[in-house]
Amino acid sequence: MAIVSGAIKPGEILGNEIESSEQLQVSRSAYREAVRMLAAKGLVESRPKTGTQVSPQRRWNLLDPEVLAWFFEAGAPSPAFVRDLFELRMVVEPAAAALAAERRTPEDLARMRRALLEMEKHGVANEDGRTADREFHDAVIEATYNAPLVSLASSIGAAVRWTTIFKQRHGPLARDPMPEHWRVFDAIAAGGAEPARAAMRDLVAQALEDTRPEIER
Amino acid sequence: MAIVSGAIKPGEILGNEIESSEQLQVSRSAYREAVRMLAAKGLVESRPKTGTQVSPQRRWNLLDPEVLAWFFEAGAPSPAFVRDLFELRMVVEPAAAALAAERRTPEDLARMRRALLEMEKHGVANEDGRTADREFHDAVIEATYNAPLVSLASSIGAAVRWTTIFKQRHGPLARDPMPEHWRVFDAIAAGGAEPARAAMRDLVAQALEDTRPEIER
DNA sequence: TCCGGCCTATTGTCTGAGTAATTCAGAAGC
DNA sequence: GCTTCTGAATTACTCAGACAATAGGCCGGA
């Protein structure tokens, strides 16, 4: 979290085991295993003699769910970052809806319907409501049956969840988001790729609209 | 590679340190650190008593460049997987081109131009030509100045590189891909989002077309 | 049939030592 | 003065052995 928040800048050397002996009271093994995990996510790179240094941000694996989570847990992410995540949603989700419209099984539709009913029942203001929202978006992406896209779902889901919280924190929701959700569902159920794409685009666009004041583009 | 190729199926237990003592002659520390890396990429999950078991594929971090590389190194990936990667390109790259058209700097344009000239010089059949091709696509994605999208670039790049090799292996290229590349460049240089999107869509579509016989959709 | 406690296998952690590799500095040669 | 080579120091990497903690399964009892 110190890395993703920028407290430790890229290029900076991660103390030669100093971390292990002073601040965190852990042994070298535990420290090393932790560093290996960070290296696997592209956050750091360690070489003999040089030490373990933080990689430039472009090498980070930003789509990794854990890395994304650290971004949010480390405090309020920058508005630019939230904007970027919305752009990613705007790119991926309409396309996913279009593909899902062509490939969804009846079971997929049932799952989406369940999620939306759950969402109506609890309301998006509730934690359960947000979970249901996320479940809906997950169901749509998984209905594409495209493995790489599906692995994006967890990242998108994290963005969905957090941006919803973000919106709430700054005043109540502008308006009921359910009609847009149902339009997406109907379009996917009908099987038309382009209507589904358009409906999902509207949904994400509205979410972006509600967040716009905070993003101060 | 044994995991991504399916030799070890999800749910299977990864030998309780048996791996370390018999096949690979490595100590427990090294083995543990390797497992930690796999866990960081979502390939495995280890809990006390249960052991280290392979996660279901939907938990894998398929966008991770290394994981993607393992897929290709482990032998010929399934046609369905290659198809999925192309679909991902079809989703991401046209959108990236549209965004790049609005935000690219003169330096970005110079970089793209350099890559294309390099590509013409060596030809796509050459290894240097492929590298230049990848450089061009990287330059486009990075010109969006969208950090999460940029971190997708390495995955997309791997897909680009491999699918090009894949095509070559099965006969010479159908036709010269340079005109499409230049059209994308011109559109991005002109600054129109929609023309850039369309041009990139054509480029990816042609690449898909050339590969279609192998994908046997 | 259900519940709780014990047992044990497995991961997690720690410590100390030794090896390998890379970079930096200095010296030698051109 | 510049380049090249060589050596040393620093750092990551690996190994080995031991102990702690956790959680699943087993057994006994209610």
Out of 1.20.120.530, 2.60.40.10, 3.90.1640.10, 3.40.47.10, the CATH code matching A65-215 is 1.20.120.530
Cα angle for residues B176, B180, B186 (degrees, 5° grid): 140
In the structure encoding, which two tokens stand for residue B159, read together? 């897909």
- CA–CA separation, B135 and B130 (whole Å): 8
Taking an 8 Å cut-off on Cβ atoms, the answer to whether A149 and B64 are in contact is no
In the structure encoding, which two tokens stand for residue B203, read together? 């480029």
Best of A26, A35, A43, A63 to mutate (most B CBs within 10 Å, chain B): A63
Per-residue pLDDT tens for B14-61? 776 666 555 678 888 999 999 999 999 999 999 888 889 999 998 999
Domain boundaries, chain A: 13-59, 65-215
> Among A180, A178, A216, which residue's Cα sits nearest to residue A199?
A180
Please say if the pLDDT value at position A29 is more than 60.
yes
- Say what the pLDDT of residue A217 is: 45
Please, which contacts does A143-146 make with residues 24 or more away whose CB atoms are closer than 8 Å?
A143/A99, A143/A100, A143/A103, A143/A104, A143/A105, A143/A108, A143/A112, A143/A188, A144/A96, A144/A99, A144/A100, A144/A103, A145/A103, A146/A99, A146/B84, A146/B87, A146/B88
- CA–CA separation, A63 and A58 (whole Å): 12
**In this complex, is the C-beta atom of A124 within 8 Å of any C-beta atom belonging to chain B?**
no
Fold classification of A13-59 (topology level): Arc Repressor Mutant, subunit A (1.10.10)
List the single residue in A with minimal CA-CA distance to B94: A91
What is residue B53's DSSP assignment? E
All residues of chain A having their beta carbon less than 8 Å from the beta carbon of residue B41 are 40
Per-residue pLDDT tens for A189-216? 999 999 999 999 999 998 888 776 565 5
- CA–CA separation, B66 and B89 (whole Å): 18
Region B73-97: mean pLDDT is 90
Per-residue pLDDT tens for A152-175? 888 888 777 776 666 666 655 567
Highest mean pLDDT (candidates A162-171, A174-183, B114-123, B153-162) = B114-123
Q: Which residues contact B174 (CB under 8 A, 6 or more apart)?
A: B209, B210
- Say what the pLDDT of residue A213 is: 59
Distance A28 CA to C16 C1' (A): 11
- Say what the pLDDT of residue B23 is: 67
- CA–CA separation, A134 and A202 (whole Å): 17
**More confident position, A176 or A188:** A188
**In this complex, is the C-beta atom of B31 within 8 Å of any C-beta atom belonging to chain A?**
no
Task: Supply the mean pLDDT for chain B.
Answer: 86
All residues of chain B having their beta carbon less than 8 Å from the beta carbon of residue A90 are 95
Q: Which residue has the tokens 């093994």?
A: A29
ipTM score for this prediction:
0.88
**In this complex, is the C-beta atom of A197 within 8 Å of any C-beta atom belonging to chain B?**
no
Per-residue pLDDT tens for B141-154? 999 999 999 998 88
Region A2-19: mean pLDDT is 81
CA separation, residue A126 to residues A84, A138, B142 (Å): 26, 18, 38
Q: How many CB pairs under 8 A join A and B?
A: 97
Distance A49 CA to D4 C1' (A): 22
**More confident position, A12 or B70:** B70
**In this complex, is the C-beta atom of A72 within 8 Å of any C-beta atom belonging to chain B?**
no
The alpha-helical segments, DSSP class H, found in chain B are: 18-21, 28-40, 65-73, 79-103, 106-122, 127-142, 147-169, 178-190, 193-215
